[in-house]
């Protein structure tokens, strides 16, 4: 199993998964972390800029943990068989450990979609 954690500054969990370009990828075997590596995306590969049906570097993960994501991104991930989880936990290692232990506090994704006039501009 592979778990990706959005972490733009490589230290804490990023609140906005759609704009995040750095993800810790955790390799999980037998409910334990076998290792982690940093995946760095180009701007074009961020979820905000890329298209839902196109191939993506995160297509082979099973779970994406972030501090926040909209319902549109959650739906896109589900179409690829990826569970998008929102948590208030800020430490990537602690979040993955808690998820594996079944103790990670999961929040409801934000209900908004982009393009309804709240400061997001598409070019």
Higher-confidence residue of 120 and 28: namely 28
At residue 121 the predicted structure's pLDDT band, cuts being 50, 70 and 90, is: very low
Contact 62, 82 (CB under 8 A): yes
Q: Report which of 11, 40, 14, 12 is spatially closest to residue 25, judged by C-alpha positions.
A: 40
Domain boundary assignment for the chain: 2-107
pLDDT mean across residues, the chain:
89
pLDDT value of residue 112: 57
What is the value of pTM for the model shown? 0.88
* 2-107 fold: Nucleotidyltransferase; domain 5 (3.30.420)
pLDDT in tens, 71-114: 899 999 999 999 999 999 999 999 999 999 999 999 987 765 54
* Residue with tokens 């995040």, as numbered in its chain: 20
């Amino acid at each position: 199993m592979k778990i990706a954690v959005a972490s733009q500054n490589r230290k804490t969990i990023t609140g906005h998964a759609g704009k995040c370009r750095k993800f810790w990828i955790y390799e999980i075997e037998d409910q334990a972390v076998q290792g982690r590596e940093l995946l760095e995306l180009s701007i074009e590969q961020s979820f905000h800029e890329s298209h839902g049906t196109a191939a993506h570097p995160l297509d082979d993960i099973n779970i994406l943990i972030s501090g926040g994501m909209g319902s549109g991104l959650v739906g896109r991930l589900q179409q690829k068989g990826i569970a998008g989880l929102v948590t208030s936990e800020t430490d990537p290692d602690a979040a993955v450990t808690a998820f594996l232990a079944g103790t990670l506090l999961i929040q409801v994704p934000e209900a908004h979609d982009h393009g309804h006039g709240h400061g997001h501009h598409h070019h």
